Amino acid sequence: GCTKKLLMRAVQCALKQSMLQAEMGSLALRDELTGVYNRRGFLALAERQLKLGRRSGRAILVFFADVDGLKQINDKFGHAEGDLALVRAAQVLEKTFRDSDVIARFGGDEFAVLALEVSGHSEATIRARLEQNLKELNARHSLYTLSISLGAARFDPASPRSPESIEQLMIRADEGMYEEKRHRSKPFLVAALD
């Protein structure tokens, strides 16, 4: 009777505590606003993927993405709209990449993505999908045009010139993103309200 009830209660409490700890661990690795991984979660998973890539001989793509004009969105429409732009950017990235790819918000308006390279999942294919997904999103939301600059770096275990660490890959991807921003034909413009 009483012992059995106490034992059941102890098991329930232990299960509840275990579930809360798992949830807290997940929250520590996720960006609260967008729901994608945060920097800590990305780096932990990226290191693991890099090791797997080395062992399996598979190439890895690392992308660095920046939401263009976020400051102007915040200034013109308020921070709530700026937050919504970040959420939409995360959703576009999730739609662009595969479920198995690691997407993270690094802070502010910057995101990083790690993708195992497989046939049909090249940088050019990803860029084309990103442009299409942004076009579809912008057709539905006309307050401003959401734009994302993207830089990429490739880890190829067969190449001696390939970056050796996640940090080196991220630096190259970040440089590529800023290069894209410099050469973009149209700067980001926030739509004027009538």
Amino acid at 8: M
From the candidates 31, 109, 156, 194, give the one annotated as an active-site residue.
109
109 catalytically annotated: yes
For residue 118, count other CB atoms closer than 10 A to its CB.
11
CA atoms of 134 and 100, how far apart (whole Å): 21
CA atoms of 104 and 63, how far apart (whole Å): 10
For residue 153, count other CB atoms closer than 10 A to its CB.
23
Q: What is the DSSP letter of 37?
A: B
Helix (H) or strand (E) holding 152: strand 148-155
As annotated, the active-site residues are 109
